[in-house]
Homo-oligomer: A and B are copies of this chain.
Amino acid sequence: MTTLGYAILGLLSREDLSGYDLTRRMAGRVGYFWSARHSQIYPELARLEDGGYVTHSVVEQSERPDKKVYKITAEGLDDLKAWVTQPPVPRPIRDEFTLKAYSVWLADKEEAARLYREEGLRHEEQLAHYEELRAWMQGAWREDLTSTDSPEFATYATLRRGIGYEKEYAEWCRWMADSIERREPSEKRKKSKSGKNGG
């Protein structure tokens, strides 16, 4: 079973979906940390059905083309449950943007500063979007978020990770741009003061 397979099962464990619906959810990042295109999803659904992890039924629609709606099986759910607590084989992180920083000493300063400012803005925008989502979730899912065995909690948990990720990335971009422009790194929501880590 592939990781993509589990991403799909993760969605189907919450609701029955067609390949098209799955594609839209996977475009918007499943749990914000996986994605796939329809060209990968349709063949994977066939493999999942072949393996007995899902079944499908054709739903005839009058105002749209007919569709295949997929449902997770008991075996699929068991497999998914087992996978969730299995420690993943560590895969290397690949981040082209950070890799560029490794050669930033060769770059034109003005261009480099602009690059980091812009990338920082992109992450701040993503962060702002996530924060909005979080505010909405905390309002709409108040009770659900008190227990960790609700799908709402799980969605919220991955969103938290997204928020932390974007925040950290945006801060680093700001620090890079400030450094390149030879300013003191901007003081924004930072504690510092101690000095143990050698400012």
Contacts and interface: CB of A to CB of B under 8 A. Distances in A.
Interface of A: 3, 6-7, 9-10, 13, 29-35, 77, 80-81, 83-85, 87-88, 90-109, 111-112, 114-115, 118-119, 122, 131, 134-135, 138, 148-151, 153-155, 157-158, 160-161, 164-165, 167-169, 171-172, 175-176, 179-180, 182, 189, 191, 197-198
Contacts of A96: 3, 34, 88, 91
Main secondary structure of the interface of A (DSSP, over half): helix
A88 B77 CA distance: 38
Contacts of A169: 164
A175 B160 contact: yes
The 7 closest A-B pairs by CB, nearest first: A31-B102, A33-B98, A85-B111, A35-B92, A33-B95, A84-B107, A10-B103
Contacts of A35: 92, 94
A94 B33 contact: yes
Contacts of A155: 102
Contacts of A114: 85
A134 to B, nearest CB: 7
